[in-house]
């Protein structure tokens, strides 16, 4: 009996040291879901299915997009430079990554295993993957019903958009980076957005994903609508905006008809459950009226 008491006292004395160790489970309750997300799209989906209270850590890219009620949530870094010690202190039940499995750092895998943290490695490059990811996030957050309802609503909205495409869709090129010129190619969610918004993505022929092209290739593609992604930047001041001038000088139909737009919406390059709002805004950019400048 005396030996048991002594051992108990020794263990109590060790607790402070254990709490400060980055490789042990922090002394925090884990009866409810606690999620650390290093992917902004996943974070937004969690918010959209009503799982805000489960978010205990985010990436630096998330911070500007969080509602005021979550601005206090700690930043744990990204999947490349993850603050493992902070993650352990937050005692999450799940850690969300979006990375090729073979590129996940062994240290992160070891940390998660030692501390009972589930690694949820998502992939959101297509609408199909969005639906699967939403189901997964609903499961780990305890919001399965909300996730299912959100998927149903999104499918309904996409169906409406698909059946209201114009008979003569304009030729579109969507630039996501200007130096070098990277465009929306085939087989990704932004390609699907262009189609549902009522356009024909002529840069599909340049390759899958987000291929890099030259100005000469852009001229050969001759888009009728040219979209230039500048998420988070100020809206264009007009056709004399220096960000537009080089493109308006190109010998392409979009420049001739002043249908060059800056897409400055903060979530323009993110795939979330509210993607149908983005698609409707893109459709406004593709209407027949000349629109030199940018889209609010």
Distance of alpha carbon 56 from the chain centroid = 18
| Range in 76-80, 113-117, 230-234 the model is least confident about | 76-80
Residues 33 and 145 in one domain: yes
pTM of the model: 0.83
217 domain-assigned: yes
| Token pair belonging to 67 | 């509602």
Residues 67 and 148 in one domain: yes
State the pLDDT at residue 282.
94
Summarize the confidence of residues 258-275 as an average pLDDT. Answer: 94
CB 33 within 8 A of CB 142: yes
pLDDT tens, position by position, 121-143: 999 999 999 999 999 999 999 99
Reported in sequence order, the residue ranges of 140-234 that DSSP labels E, i.e. its strands, are 171-178, 181-183, 200-201, 212-213, 225-229
Length of the chain counted residue by residue: 296
- Rounded Cα distance between 215 and 106, Å, is 42
Residues 287 and 230 in one domain: yes
- Rounded Cα distance between 240 and 243, Å, is 8
State the pLDDT at residue 237.
87
CA-based R_g, the chain, Å: 24
**pLDDT tier at 239, thresholds 50, 70, 90:** confident
* End-of-domain residue from the set 98, 132, 154: 154
11 domain-assigned: no
Summarize the confidence of residues 200-229 as an average pLDDT. Answer: 97
12 domain-assigned: no
7 domain-assigned: no
- Identify any residues that bridge with 95 across adjacent strands, giving them in sequence order: 36, 119
Residues 170 and 139 in one domain: no
3-class DSSP state of 212: strand
State the pLDDT at residue 263.
95
**pLDDT tier at 78, thresholds 50, 70, 90:** confident
| Domain housing 141 | 21-154
| Token pair belonging to 75 | 């930043």
| Range in 7-11, 31-35, 238-242 the model is least confident about | 7-11
- Rounded Cα distance between 86 and 4, Å, is 34
Q: How many domains does the chain have?
A: 2
Mean pLDDT, the chain, rounded, equals 88
HSE toward the beta carbon, residue 269, CA cutoff 13 A:
20
CB 73 within 8 A of CB 43: no
State the pLDDT at residue 293.
52
10 domain-assigned: no
- Rounded Cα distance between 165 and 194, Å, is 11
State the pLDDT at residue 3.
37
14 domain-assigned: no
**pLDDT tier at 22, thresholds 50, 70, 90:** very low
pLDDT tens, position by position, 81-104: 899 999 999 999 999 999 888 889
Domain of 187, CATH number, reads 3.40.50.1980
105 domain-assigned: yes
Residues 184 and 70 in one domain: no
Residues 136 and 226 in one domain: no
Residues 142 and 189 in one domain: no
| Token pair belonging to 107 | 């240290």
């Amino acid at each position: 009996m005396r030996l048991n008491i002594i051992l108990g006292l020794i263990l109590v004395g060790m607790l402070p040291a254990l709490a400060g160790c980055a490789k042990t489970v922090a002394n925090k309750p884990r009866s409810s879901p606690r999620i650390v997300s290093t992917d902004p799209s996943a974070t937004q989906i969690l918010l959209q299915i009503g799982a805000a209270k489960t978010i205990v850590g985010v990436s630096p890219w998330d911070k500007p997009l969080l509602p005021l009620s979550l601005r206090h949530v700690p930043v744990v870094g990204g999947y490349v430079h993850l603050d493992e010690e902070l993650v352990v202190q937050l005692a999450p039940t799940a850690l969300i990554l979006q990375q090729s499995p073979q590129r996940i750092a062994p240290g992160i895998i070891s940390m998660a295993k030692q501390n009972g943290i589930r690694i949820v490695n998502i992939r959101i490059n297509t609408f199909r993957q969005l639906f699967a990811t939403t189901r997964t996030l609903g499961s780990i957050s305890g919001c399965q019903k909300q996730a299912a309802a959100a998927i149903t609503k999104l499918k309904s909205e996409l169906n409406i958009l698909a059946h209201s495409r114009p008979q003569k869709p304009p030729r579109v090129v969507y630039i996501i980076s200007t130096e070098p010129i990277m465009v929306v190619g085939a087989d990704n969610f932004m390609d699907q957005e262009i189609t549902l918004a009522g356009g024909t993505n002529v840069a599909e022929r340049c390759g899958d994903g987000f291929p890099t092209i030259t100005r000469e290739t852009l001229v050969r593609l001759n888009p009728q609508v040219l979209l230039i992604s500048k998420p988070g930047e100020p809206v264009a001041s007009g056709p004399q905006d220096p960000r537009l001038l080089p493109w308006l000088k190109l010998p392409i139909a979009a420049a001739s008809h002043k249908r060059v737009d800056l897409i400055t919406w903060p979530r323009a390059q993110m795939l979330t459950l509210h993607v149908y709002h983005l698609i409707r805004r893109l459709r406004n950019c593709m209407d027949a009226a000349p629109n030199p400048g940018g889209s609010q």
